[in-house]
Chain A
Amino acid sequence: MTERRISIPGEIIAEGEDYLPGEWTEKREGKIYALKYGLIEESNKLIKIIPVSGTYSPRRGNVVIGKVENVTFNGWVIDIGAPDNAFLTVMEVPKYVNKDALEEVLDIGDMLVAKIWAINKRGIDLSLKAKGLGKIEEGLIFEINPNKVPRVIGKEGSMINLIKENTDCDITVGQNGRILIEGDSTEGELKAKKAILHIVEKSYVEGLTEEMENWFKSQGGLAPKRDVPKDLAEDEE
């Protein structure tokens, strides 16, 4: 990995006509200026800034974890941790919905995993039409800084798979920084949470996946499976 450079708003981060301004940068008189505090990434003369802080800004295709704020006649208003609320229409729920009793499917306060399928002037539209989406029935939900989500997932999911293997939990990471952990045992779930919080804290360490492998070793390998009392276990046989 190349050395990381940090950008300050207004700073000149590159000079020369052949550079192209990417995300959160601006070109003025042959100079590339930073518009945001973050890490500078350069590839093929294209310079962009990866934000390290700030609120979640929704994008099309993001899988997010939301909370039902309100039930309307044709859908649900969902809080996804962005400045604007999102909307889920009945049409985007892949099952039969009784139009007179929407709250039977999702009620105020329910949490759900959804996908952003459109962002327009009127607002953000959500969909449940994909694998792994829907109402959350159980599990542990907590929030991290949305800018750390890529680190938690890792390259091609390497990091999240490492945690899944080591804790025996199913983990859904919403791009809005909300994370759902579902496991057989509370110990496993808490361990997965601890691991993720450790990643967030160490997010600027190089070779983070190795760091986490060692972390899991120091924590004593696999999470303890749920203890089944001996006599019960024998009964089952």
Chain B
Amino acid sequence: MAKKSENFERIDGRKLDELRPIKAKVGVIPNADGSAMYQSGDTIAIAAVYGPKKMHPQHQQDPAKGVLRCSYNMMTFSVNDRIKPGTSRRSTEISKITEWALEPVLMLDKFPGQVIDIFIHIIQADAGTRCAGINAASMALAHAGVPMKNLVCSVSVGKLDKTLVVDLTKAEEDFEEGEGPTDIPISMTPDGKITHLQLDGKIGTEQMKEVLDLGKKAIEKIYEIQKKALKEAFN
């Protein structure tokens, strides 16, 4: 494959595998059982966890295992053009995706008939909001004392023309040259098990393997930041 990527320059001058500056904090919503804030560059997500608590309405109870219920929402002012409040096709999809990304690490069989509620709000959006939301939610779940097999970390890998880059910004998502942009959000546990993977665009199988390697390296960095935030919450 032609290594055109050697001299590819990103709009914000980052290296190809460089993440945006990350800030993470736990306990940002005192009323919640657990909460977290995750910021990646200009994308900021907050997540609040309530429960495990009794599921209402009762007909939604599952007597075999607990239910994870996510709600993803973008604040009206999170983007330049005011976004209409309320649920949309997109937010419903991302809520479901977040549930699926997080469920594998939760031990829901310990909470029959109960529900864990996660509320994710995007305060400011500059692409990668679902990843920021999943990262925040994962920290908030841990902070809420929910038993988990592992944390979940999430990052988006992108293909701009033929070059693979990590953690796209909005400007990069709008890249129009050559083959155009391809966005691949990935969620993984730090030990490399994939819990969620989406693909918006076109990519070959060989390059897809590279995407996973890049994603794995980025996720290791994100995990360290999440871990640090949780440990620091004690002092």
Binding site for B on A (CB under 8 A): 4, 6, 8-11, 24, 26, 33, 35-38, 51-55, 83-84, 147, 204
A111: min CB distance to chain B, Å: 20
Given the interface pairs A8-B142, A83-B52, the reply to whether A53 lies near B34 with Cβ below 8 Å is yes
Using A6-B234, A11-B227, A204-B234 as known contacts, say yes or no to A55 and B53 having CB atoms under 8 A apart. yes
- A residues within 8 A CB of B189? 10
Interface string of B197-235 (1 = CB under 8 A from A): 000000000000000000000000000001100110011
Interface residue from A4, A6, A8, A9 paired with B147 (Cβ < 8 Å): A9
A83 contacts which of B107, B114, B151 (Cβ < 8 Å)? Answer: B114
Residues of chain B within 8 A (CB-CB) of A54 are 33-34, 144-146
The distance in angstroms between the C-alpha atoms of A33 and B191, with both chains bound, is: 12
- A–B pairs, 28, beta carbons within 8 Å: A6-B230, A6-B231, A8-B142, A8-B230, A9-B105, A10-B149, A10-B150, A10-B190, A11-B227, A33-B149, A36-B145, A36-B147, A37-B142, A37-B143, A51-B145, A53-B34, A53-B145, A54-B144, A54-B145, A55-B33, A55-B52, A55-B53, A83-B51, A83-B52, A83-B53, A83-B113, A83-B114, A204-B234
A-B residue pairs, 8 tightest by C-beta: A54-B145, A10-B150, A9-B148, A53-B145, A37-B142, A35-B147, A51-B145, A83-B54
Tell me how far the C-beta of A52 lies from the nearest C-beta in chain B, rounded to whole angstroms: 7
Specify which chain B residues have a CB less than 8 angstroms from the CB of A11 in the assembled complex. Answer: 227
Also in contact, A9 and B150, with CB within 8 A (given A36-B145, A37-B143): yes
Q: Is B111 an interface residue (CB 8 A)?
A: yes
Q: Which partner residue on chain B sits nearest A9 by CB separation?
A: B148
Q: Mark B11-53, 1 if CB is under 8 A from A, else 0.
A: 0000000000000000000000110000000000000000111
Q: Would you call B149 and A84 a contact (CB within 8 A)?
A: no
Tell me the smallest distance from the CB of B209 to a CB of chain A, in Å. Answer: 25
Q: A178 to nearest B CB, angstroms?
A: 16
Contact A35 B149 (CB under 8 A): yes
User: What residues of A have a CB within 8 angstroms of the CB of B54 in the complex?
Assistant: 83-84
Closest CB in chain A relative to B227 CB, distance in Å: 5
